[in-house]
Amino acid sequence: MTEAKSKVDMEKLVSLCRRRGYIFPSSEIYGGLSSCWDYGPLGVELKRNIKDAWWRAVVQQRDDMVGLDASILMHPKVWEASGHLEGFSDPLVECKSCHLRWRSDELKNDKCPECGGELTEPRLFNLMFRTFVGPIEDEASVVYLRPETAQGMFVNFENILNTTRKRLPFGIAQIGKAFRNEVTTGNFIFRCREFEQMEIEFFVKPGTDKEWFDYWVEERLKWYMSLGVRKENLKLRQHTKEELAHYARECYDINYLFPMGWAELEGIANRGDFDLVQHAKFSGKTLNYYDDETKEHIVPYIIEPSAGVDRTALAILCDAYDEDIADGEPRALLHLHPTIAPIKVAVLPLSRKETLAPLSKEVYEELRQCWMTAFDEAQSIGRRYRRQDEIGTPFCVTIDFESLEDKQVTIRERDSLRQIRVPIDSLKNTLQTKLDGEDLFVLPEGGKIWKEG
Ligand code: ATP
């Protein structure tokens, strides 16, 4: 993590997420569990939208990628072959006075950052959670909660090759939970002990790896921007020779300017043939690929773009958070990209009067067939608008008494506060084009500008 300041106050963001039902501390009624978080009604939609957008971009819209959902528990030999049993550890020191533990590689000096006390010698601490399969808790039944999803894809290389008949270059994509018993925690959902990853293992012919590595760095950077993350808050950082992981030939981090400074959002590594060679050695199976052109068996190289769902969610929330003045009052809002926003449209009858109810419900029923739609008739219209702004809903649809006569409703845009009046008949189509990015003032037939923001 490097020093630099983003404009967002993490405390305000955490408070918004808690207050509005995005993210809660895990087991909160028992005082929480360190670095574990529960995604509430809005958080779950946000995460689902992120995962769907990733899947659409890397699987659905490509010919050279297939999906996988491997189990979290894997054969223990997997972690021997991968090097995790030996090497997946952080150097841990403990303060002799206050007994807090720290990662020694993250400390500025050899004193406890909390109380200035003396620290113990570092000892290596394996980050994998250990558990047992079956009723007997002995060494023979030890298994681990996977610390990354990647290994599931390496060990299924042959299965995928045989069942899909894919030819190089091709990739396997997977989204799933991973677990790390992290030593240093904190910074909200940036570093959790249970989190979700979105990983690609892209198999290529040796010699073409550099080209594919560069391609994926570019492609992944573009993906974050396509979800509205600002370019100036994204930065590439190349790993130095000294910090390269044992398996990596080259590695770039995509860093984001989080409130605590620049930090990793995604890692992209050229893993060479390390993984297939290791798993072939430990399993005794031949894991290679017959190249029709050269008539040779080769071991593909692997390019791995590895992203975190939780860190992406945090980056998107940080990037979207804003405060301004709307109609003379301060408001907090999330400028979420429509693809990512948990609720796309809110239907708001101007008043609770009975006469507006049937039409309002009719509109709501129609829209919820297409998108996550909210219905809210409590409190003043101004407060309801602000509530939707704060959770990032891009559009509000207001039904008023005139709507009963002219069969038109008002669409109000979160970011610009502009409003247009559109016939109910064309509301669905109009919203679809606005959600797809069309400017608010492109009016449907029969529509009119209602109010300038
Ligand atoms: P860090 O250096 O921050 O610990 P890492 O380099 O160990 O991260 P990788 O092993 O490259 O992370 O994992 C790939 C991605 O998985 C990261 O870029 C991040 O988005 C996500 N990730 C890793 N560890 C965590 C965690 N503890 N909590 C949330 N996301 C994580």
pLDDT tens column, 232-280: 999 999 999 988 988 899 999 999 999 999 999 999 999 999 999 999 9
Average pLDDT across the chain, whole number: 93
Cβ atoms of 264 and 271 closer than 8 Å: no
Between 8 and 251, the more confident residue is 251
Q: Is residue 140 scored above 70 in pLDDT?
A: yes
pLDDT category at 122 given cuts 50, 70, 90 is confident
CB under 8 Å, gap of 24 or more: what pairs does 329-334 form? 329/382, 329/386, 331/386, 331/389, 331/390, 332/12, 332/16, 332/389, 332/390, 333/389, 333/390, 333/392, 333/414, 333/415, 334/16, 334/389, 334/390, 334/391, 334/392
> Per-residue pLDDT averaged across 218-238, rounded?
96
pLDDT category at 92 given cuts 50, 70, 90 is confident
Residue with CA at minimum distance from ligand 1 atom 22: 308
- Compute, in angstroms, the gap from residue 308 CA to the centroid of ligand 1: 7
pLDDT given for residue 121 in this prediction: 84
- Compute, in angstroms, the gap from residue 63 CA to the centroid of ligand 1: 28
Whether the CB of 180 sits within 6 Å of ligand 1? yes
pLDDT given for residue 149 in this prediction: 98
> Per-residue pLDDT averaged across 208-236, rounded?
97
**pLDDT cut 70: percent of the chain above it:** 98
pLDDT given for residue 329 in this prediction: 87
Residue with CA at minimum distance from ligand 1 atom 21: 308
N-term to C-term CA, the chain = 40
pLDDT given for residue 328 in this prediction: 87
> Per-residue pLDDT averaged across 100-112, rounded?
84
Interacting residues of 245 by C-beta distance below 8 A, sequence separation 6+: 251, 269
Q: Is residue 226 scored above 80 in pLDDT?
A: yes
Residue with CA at minimum distance from ligand 1 atom 6: 267
pLDDT given for residue 2 in this prediction: 54
- Compute, in angstroms, the gap from residue 249 CA to the centroid of ligand 1: 19
Q: Is residue 450 scored above 80 in pLDDT?
A: no
pLDDT given for residue 397 in this prediction: 98
Whether the CB of 38 sits within 6 Å of ligand 1? no
- In this structure, what DSSP letter does residue 4 have? -
